Chains A and B, each alone.
Chain A
Amino acid sequence: MDPVLDIQRLSIRYPGALAPAVRDVSFTLGRERLGIVGESGSGKSTVGRAIMRLLDTAEITADRMQFEEVDLLNAPEKQMLDVRGKRMSMILQDPKFSLNPIQRCGHQIAEAYRTHVRCSKAEAKARAIAMLEQVHIRDPERVYDLYPHEVSGGMGQRVMIAMMLLTSPDLVIADEPTSALDVTVRLQVLRILDGLVRDKGIGLIMISHDLNLVRAFCDRVLIMYAGRVVETLDARDLDNARHPYSRGLLAAQPRIGGSREPLPVLARQDSWLEPLEADA
């Protein structure tokens, strides 16, 4: 089957920045769950935003950036308006910042629905409430009427996920979608995303720093360091990662019942910038 997304040698430089934030990143995504893990500031969100074409001032180069039949390097913004939100969605890392602060949460979900699907306001509201229920928000009718500053961190994340679920995208980029959720709700939300991959055949990119989550939930994992992909592996082999940065990540994780000695931290080295040779 054709990949949903094909990215070859993507580099991104923010205006005024000395070094590129992303360098020579290549991967393809099928109808699978691809995890991206990596250090804070390593360029994970930047890759996601570039795919969504949300970076209008940054300098972007690539040999290829293809989403289904859309050439993301050259598609006019007019075409992107039709693609973004409808065929590809991103769950942003700062949910409250991404929501309009002066509009009620439910209203924003309903309006997002109406930009893609023609229906009455009452229908859109009913859909929005159903979606809030689907992401396990207690009391969806109350939450529909709350402003973003009135919902909890985990509720904000789920409002973003509900918004994404309204349309049926082929590609979902989820940037830390569950970091503010308690474990029980987190598992419920992951099951929803999993259902999309299995039943609707979407491609899912899951940006996360939660190694347990990525190991158990994803099919493959890219490990990023300083703007580059330094290792690619099957998620179930994560514990056998070989790159020193990847190994350092695994060691830095606190564990239930572990010692209370200071956690191992990374002694970063320039040689880590080199990707492992065996990787595709």
Chain B
Amino acid sequence: MKPISIDRLSISFGPVRVLHDVSFDVAAGECFGLVGESGSGKSTILRCASMLTNIWDGTVRIGDHDVRKMPLAERCRTVQMVFQDPYGSLHPRHSIRTALDEGLRINGFDDREARLAQAMRDVGLPVEFLDRYPHQLSGGQRQRVAIARALILEPDVLFLDEPTSALDVSVQAEVLNLLVRLQKEKGFTYLMVSHDLAVVDHMCDRFAIMQHGRIVEVLDRAAITGGGATQPYAKELIGASLEYERAI
């Protein structure tokens, strides 16, 4: 089990500052949520912390290690990411088998065929779909492939960017149950972006609310129903979500 520690993370694209000194800690084995305004920088935090970009300032530590100093192979086995936009993250001319097997091969896993089949079953997809290409899948099926690809490497930490927002609620239930089970069995630590406070309430122990590249407030799950938010934007977002759930 590994904790995550993010300290004064900042990034700019050209003249535009997108993250302003973002700091928070996630305990080992915790599920921590990131919610907030569209464009506020949630995906960017995940992209920085997983070193998809390295032009940021600040420190990100996973376990005892600074992510900047981790060798690539170790980083792959420590942290995996499920992207918000599954089409963008799957190579259009690689079959699902190739997409899933790549990581297993590079990291020297044994029993690859059995692992591939198990990963597909875990996310509720037929094993035959291994031989399909991304364009032959529906949106939700592609998203499940992206989740399978991250889980198959059994990382300590998973960054999940709206992992179920493209899924219907029945498949969402299966994926969320799977994530909870794996967390219990393998002690995964999750950092999960979501727009759905019901999902956050179901999964997370604590969550941060973001606006304009800053963390407005970090709250316990109980603050959603208990009125624990103190900052105006946090109150507004929680209020709007409660209203939305009571059927808009």
How many residues of A sit at the interface, in one of the four size bands?
35 or more
B173 x A183 contact (CB < 8 A): no
A256 x B197 contact (CB < 8 A): yes
Residues of A within 8 A of B144 (CB): 40
- Interface mask (A144-173 → B, CB under 8 Å = 1, otherwise 0): 000001111111101000000000000000
B224 within 8 A of A: yes
B98 within 8 A of A: no
Residues of A within 8 A of B37 (CB): 182, 184-185
- With CB as the reference atom, state the residue of chain B lying closest to A264: B173
In chain A, positions 243-260 with a C-beta closer than 8 Å to chain B are: 248-249, 252-258, 260
CB distance from A199 to the nearest CB of B (A): 20
Please tell me the number of chain B residues within 8 Å of chain A, measured between CB atoms: 55
B140 x A40 contact (CB < 8 A): yes
In chain B, positions 156-192 with a C-beta closer than 8 Å to chain A are: 161-162, 165-174, 176-177, 180-181
A40 x B242 contact (CB < 8 A): no
A183 x B241 contact (CB < 8 A): yes
Residues of B within 8 A of A180 (CB): 38, 84, 162, 165, 195
A258 x B198 contact (CB < 8 A): yes
Residues of B within 8 A of A260 (CB): 202
In chain B, positions 189-216 with a C-beta closer than 8 Å to chain A are: 195-199, 201-202
CB distance from A76 to the nearest CB of B (A): 26
A209 to B166 alpha-carbon distance, docked (Å): 8
A60 within 8 A of B: no
Residues of B within 8 A of A217 (CB): 248
CB distance from A201 to the nearest CB of B (A): 23
A179 to B163 alpha-carbon distance, docked (Å): 11
- Interface mask (A16-36 → B, CB under 8 Å = 1, otherwise 0): 000000000000000000000
| Residue among A37, A175, A266 with max Cβ neighbours from chain B (10 Å) | A266
A142 x B16 contact (CB < 8 A): yes
B141 within 8 A of A: yes
A39 to B138 alpha-carbon distance, docked (Å): 10
B88 x A216 contact (CB < 8 A): no
B170 x A39 contact (CB < 8 A): yes
- With CB as the reference atom, state the residue of chain A lying closest to B210: A182
A256 x B177 contact (CB < 8 A): no
Q: Given that A187-B248, A248-B170 are known contacts, is A45 also in contact with B139, CB under 8 Å in the complex?
A: yes
A97 x B141 contact (CB < 8 A): no
A38 to B199 alpha-carbon distance, docked (Å): 19
A153 x B176 contact (CB < 8 A): no
Q: Given that A152-B43, A215-B247 are known contacts, is A249 also in contact with B242, CB under 8 Å in the complex?
A: no
Residues of B within 8 A of A14 (CB): 136
B38 x A255 contact (CB < 8 A): no
Residues of A within 8 A of B245 (CB): 212, 255-256
In chain B, positions 118-159 with a C-beta closer than 8 Å to chain A are: 136-141, 144
- With CB as the reference atom, state the residue of chain B lying closest to A250: B169
Contacting B201 at CB < 8 Å: which of A41, A253, A258, A266?
A258
Contacting B139 at CB < 8 Å: which of A93, A151, A187?
A93
B173 x A263 contact (CB < 8 A): yes
Contacting A154 at CB < 8 Å: which of B39, B174, B198, B240?
B39
Q: Given that A14-B136, A252-B170 are known contacts, is A257 also in contact with B180, CB under 8 Å in the complex?
A: no
Contacting A263 at CB < 8 Å: which of B42, B141, B177?
B177
B136 x A183 contact (CB < 8 A): no
CB distance from B33 to the nearest CB of A (A): 13
In order of increasing CB-CB distance, the 3 nearest A-B pairs are A40-B140, A154-B38, A263-B173
29 A-B residue contacts at CB 8 Å?
A39-B170, A39-B171, A40-B139, A40-B171, A44-B138, A93-B139, A94-B85, A94-B139, A150-B13, A152-B38, A153-B38, A153-B84, A153-B85, A155-B38, A176-B139, A176-B166, A181-B38, A183-B195, A183-B240, A209-B169, A216-B248, A252-B172, A253-B169, A253-B173, A258-B198, A258-B201, A262-B177, A263-B172, A266-B170
Interface residue ranges, B against A (CB under 8 Å) = 13, 16, 35-39, 42-43, 84-88, 136-141, 144, 161-162, 165-174, 176-177, 180-181, 195-199, 201-202, 224-225, 236-237, 240-242, 244-245, 247-248
